[in-house]
Amino acid sequence: EAQVTQNPRYLITVTGKKLTVTCSQNMNHEYMSWYRQDPGLGLRQIYYSMNVEVTDKGDVPEGYKVSRKEKRNFPLILESPSPNQTSLYFCASRDTGGNPEAFFGQGTRLTVV
């Protein structure tokens, strides 16, 4: 089954404590991205990756890091989380060929206190 898997699904942490949200896809997609979803603001892109070792900033990259060492994995790193990073996070992957369909993970609800 084609899927994007995020972990954890729920996370409560304290300000300043480094955390990583993992994302893995099994469709051999080149393109992967991270979004955050906030009420009234919709989905906003944080970072994206066109392929292994190729990453770039989206619209709201401040306070986040990513890496793409393997094609299937695209972890999101918050080195010093702050309360304004409390949000619902989604990882997505997409083929760079003719099929435009983006597959999303189930989401990670992060609360920073």
Footprint of other proteins (CB under 8 A): 4, 31, 33, 35, 40-45, 48, 50, 56, 58-59, 90, 92, 96, 100-107
To other proteins, the closest distance from the beta carbon of 15 in angstroms equals 25
Compare residues 49 and 85 and give the one whose CB is closer to other proteins: 49
To other proteins, the closest distance from the beta carbon of 6 in angstroms equals 8
CA 83 to chain centroid, in Å, comes to 18
Which of 33, 34, 70 minimizes the C-alpha distance to 50?
33
How many residues are given for the chain?
113
Whether the upstream peptide bond of residue 8 has omega within 30° of 0, thus cis, is yes
